[in-house]
Chain A
Amino acid sequence: MITANNNKAPALAVEGLCVEFRTRSGLVRALDNVSFNVAKGETVALVGESGSGKSVTAYAVMGILDPAGRVTAGRAMLGGLDLLSAKPSQLAEVRGRDIAMIFQNPRTALNPIRPVGKQIADVLIRHGNVPRREAPAQAVEMLRAVGITDPARRAKAYPFEMSGGMCQRVMIAIALAAKPSLLIADEPTTGLDVTTQAVIMDLINDLAAKMGMATIFITHDLALAGQRAARIVVMHAGHVVENAPTGEMFAYPRHPYTAELIAATPDSAASLDELASIPGTLPDLRRSDLPPCRYSERCPRKTDACAQPLPLAAPGATHIVACWNPLPAPELGAPILIASTESAA
């Protein structure tokens, strides 16, 4: 398994990311103070239900937010470059070469009227510094590397001629063609059969290990995240609620929401009656009176302390929880919670 590594400079450091959307029914505060690091070569899973903001985070980092969305605060440091304030020309250099993304629906993410081999070659030429004449051959090699049989023939095929699993492999090939240091995978296997999912995830993990590439893996499937990631970041309503190594998170979930999420996953229960649903509903993110902790209104462990701004993480902490009344975990000891000096958002 890929190990977490906090000592070296991170591949990606997201700090205090805030994103808003202007909609006709009001201003939606989609992300509030989202921070997490991805170490070099680490696989981090960003887990949450719909509305948690996990995809918005990825899109903000890549700079492809919907036009109605704005980053109002925060930085996303990729190496020395802040992606959120970079000029479009700088972003164009970095995207594809240093950071790449694969999406949920492979068929719609590929150009339907261009053979797949050419689409891979495009990336090689633009970002991989590969001469035009050699690009097609290397594209075929990429197809082979992602496990497509008979790659020379398939390189001439169009996306509609291929199955969902194969299209996803092609998308991976395109993303990895220029050997980026960070891959963001947005629900790459949702919609694929579970056997295909296993094979695709194996492929991503293998390639990442071979290339020393860091991966951010976005999913709503907690069990899948647990299987494939060294570290899990749980999001709820635009907040990061917990950030911990995988084994520790499942053994000792500290945030009430994480515990509820685990208890609601079918795999965790022996019978239907044991499954617990999460109380309450997501708060309306258009409200201007959102409490500092967006889970507090539905949280069974709410205390008076929860009215203050969320605690900051202690520097160097490996298990971060954004809660003033976290679940007890005697083996881990009490968490160090630092009061925020900023006023409530």
Chain B
Amino acid sequence: MTALLDVAEFSKLFPVTGTSGTWTRLKQRFQGGPEKLSKVHAVDNVSFRIEKGETVGLVGESGCGKSTLVRALTRLIDASDGSVRLGERELTLTPARYFARDPDRARIQMVFQDAGESVNPRFTAFDAIADPLRRLRKLGGKALRQRVETVASQCGLPLQLLTRFPHQLSGGQRARVGIARAIAVEPDLLVLDEPTAALDVSVQVVILQLLQRLKKELGMSYLFVSHDLSVVKLLCDRVLVMYLGKIVEAGPAVEVFDHPLHPYTQALVAAVPRFGEDGATRLRLTGEPRSPIDPDPNVCRFYGRCPRGTPDCTKAMPELRQFGTREVACHFAEEFLPPAWAKA
């Protein structure tokens, strides 16, 4: 069965800018060839699938590469290496610059973190929702108006608010505008980049329940990016944990958070404030993350902060290995497995 989205060995590297002038870079280029330029490995050899109707969560902290990955998947930037297949179609063959006019543009849409920033301050709510309909569905006049109103109602946005500007709307209302705009063209895959991070807890509940409902009604798949593990646990079927450009763990959301296998996931879960717990816990990450610039391909990215690190971790990069429904990239994964699961 073809997955809705199939990402294979995807990498995105950025040249390090600003650290060397034109002269130094020219020298590097001619003396050492282009490979000698220092590169930030924002996303490094990432592979995963999203099935139709699934909600996949993507968690990781700042610098882990999830923003870059998301921007590449939504074709705002190009890949450096690897493949991104949407159904049967290989997306990396079309440069990002030209994808805006592509017939498949409507199939992947995104809801942004801060709807206040992602809606043009000079656009009304109506304009914001109408824009993709005008550009991608070529709607106009009465048909456009009807579609915008339908979508706004689906998202629980009162119609009289459509004439307002973003700064005249509350946080929750702005979030609804962002969602309405994204689903207006009926995408197959909706990427949500921390959509409730800027919202109050009570508003967050309403928006999450709305997203849940919309997914069922419209048959979409979600890629839900968040730093809030409690929310991911509630909303997502599966979760991917990223650290410094690599996926370190993957599996069903509830299982990953209740029994994390990778030391980083364990530290992440331990750090989340839970009701009924006090702050005293022994598992704390010390030190700073390793540099993402030209990392050593043989050293585990988490080495140095990992409470379990041994010299073996510098000999070979741990690959993502499968254990039943779980995947872990750690040499010591077996030690954390429940005994019934030990790899045969």
Which A residues are closer than 8 A to B by beta carbons? 1, 49-50, 149, 163-164, 193-199, 201-202, 205, 220-224, 226-228, 250, 260-262, 264-269, 271-273, 275-278
A273 to B235, CA, bound (A): 10
Chain B stretch 168-213: residues in CB contact (< 8 A) with chain A: 171, 200-206, 208-209, 212
Q: Are B279 and A266 in contact (CB under 8 A)?
A: no
Contact B234 A266 (CB under 8 A): yes
| A202 CB contacts on chain B under 8 angstroms | 279, 284
Residues of B that sit less than 8 Å from A by CB: 61-62, 171, 200-206, 208-209, 212, 227-231, 233-235, 267-268, 270-281, 284-288
CB distance B234 to A271 under 8 Å?
A: yes
A194 close to B227 (CB less than 8 A):
yes
Kindly list chain A residues whose C-beta atoms are within 8 Å of the C-beta of B202: 49, 260-261, 264, 277-278
Q: Is the CB of A276 within 8 A of B205?
A: yes
A195 to B205, CA, bound (A): 24
Contacts of A223 in B (CB 8 A): 230, 272-275
Q: How far apart are the CA atoms of A50 and B203 in the complex, in Å?
A: 11
> What number of A-B contacts does a CB cutoff of 8 Å give?
106
Residue of B nearest to A52 (CB): B200
> Are B235 and A205 interface neighbours, CB within 8 A?
no
The 6 sampled A-B contact pairs (Cβ below 8 Å) are: A195-B61, A198-B279, A260-B202, A267-B230, A267-B274, A272-B208
Are A194 and B200 touching (Cβ within 8 A)? no
Chain A interface mostly = helix
Given contacts A1-B278, A267-B230, contact A198 B201 (CB under 8 A): no
Q: How far is the CA of A196 from the CA of B271 in the complex (A)?
A: 8
CB distance from A144 to the nearest CB of B (A): 15
Q: Write out the residue numbers on chain A whose beta carbons fall within 8 Å of the beta carbon of B277.
A: 227
B267–A195 touching, CB < 8 Å: yes
Are B230 and A277 touching (Cβ within 8 A)? Answer: no
Compute how far the CA of A221 lies from the CA of B231 in the bound complex, rounded to whole angstroms.
13
Q: Is the CB of B61 within 8 A of A275?
A: no
Measured in the bound complex, the distance between the Cα atoms of B228 and A266 in whole Å is 9
> How far does the alpha carbon of A262 sit from the alpha carbon of B205 in the complex, in Å?
12
Residue in B200, B204, B231, B287 with the greatest tally of chain A CB atoms within 10 Å: B200
- Output the nearest chain B residue to A226 by Cβ-Cβ distance: B275
- Chain A residue with the shortest CB-CB distance to B171: A50
The smallest C-beta distance from A191 to any residue of chain B, in angstroms, reads 9
| Cα of A260 to Cα of B279 in the assembled complex, Å | 24
Q: How many angstroms between the C-alpha atoms of A254 and B171 in the bound complex?
A: 29
Residue of chain B at shortest CB distance from A263: B205
Q: Which residues of A contact B205 (CB under 8 A)?
A: 264, 266, 275-277
CB neighbours (8 Å) of A265 from chain B are 201, 230, 275
Rounded to whole Å, the gap between the CB of B53 and the closest CB of chain A is 16
Q: Which residues of B contact A264 (CB under 8 A)?
A: 201-202, 204-205
B227 neighbours in A (Cβ, 8 Å)? 193-194
Q: Is the CB of A49 within 8 A of B234?
A: no
- The answer to whether B268 touches A195 (Cβ under 8 A) is yes
CB distance from A219 to the nearest CB of B (A): 10
Other than the known A201-B279, A269-B234, A273-B209, what 10 A-B pairs have Cβ atoms closer than 8 Å?
A149-B287, A163-B288, A194-B272, A198-B271, A226-B275, A227-B278, A261-B202, A266-B204, A271-B234, A277-B203
Across the two chains, which residue of chain A brings its CB closest to B202? A278
Contacts of A273 in B (CB 8 A): 209
CA of A49 to CA of B279, assembled, Å: 22
Asked if A272 and B274 sit within 8 Å, CB to CB, the answer is no
CB of B234 within 8 A of CB of A227, answer no
* Chain B residue at minimal CB-CB distance from A269: B234
Task: Tell me the nearest residue of chain A to B269, going by C-beta.
Answer: A194
Complex interface: chain A residues within 8 A of B171 (CB): 50
- Tell whether A194 pairs with B61 under 8 Å between CB atoms, given A205-B279, A224-B273, A265-B201: yes
Neighbour of B284 across the interface among A163, A198, A220, A260, CB < 8 A: A198
Answer whether A266 and B230 are a contact pair too, CB < 8 Å, given A220-B201, A272-B208: yes
* Nearest-neighbor residue (CB-CB) of B278 within chain A: A1
- Using Cβ atoms and an 8 Å threshold, which residues of chain A touch B285? 195, 199
Q: A194, B201: Cβ atoms under 8 Å?
A: no
Cβ B268 vs Cβ A194 within 8 A: yes
Given contacts A194-B61, A275-B234, contact A49 B276 (CB under 8 A): no
| Neighbouring A residues of B230 by C-beta, 8 Å | 223, 265-267
Whether B278 pairs with A199 at a CB distance below 8 angstroms is no
Cα-based distance from A337 to B55 in the complex (angstroms): 49
What's the minimum C-beta distance from A276 to chain B, rounded to whole angstroms? 7
A264 CB to closest chain B CB (Å) equals 5
Residue numbers in A under 8 Å from B209 (CB-CB): 272-273, 275, 277
> For residue A193, which residues in chain B have a CB less than 8 angstroms away from its CB?
61-62, 227
Q: CA separation between A205 and B281, bound complex, in Å?
A: 13
A272 in contact with B268 given A228-B279, A264-B201 (CB within 8 Å): no
Given contacts A193-B62, A194-B61, A195-B285, contact A250 B273 (CB under 8 A): no
Alpha-carbon distance between A341 and B233 when the two chains are bound, in angstroms: 49
Chain A residues closer than 8 Å to B274, beta-carbon distance: 223, 227, 267
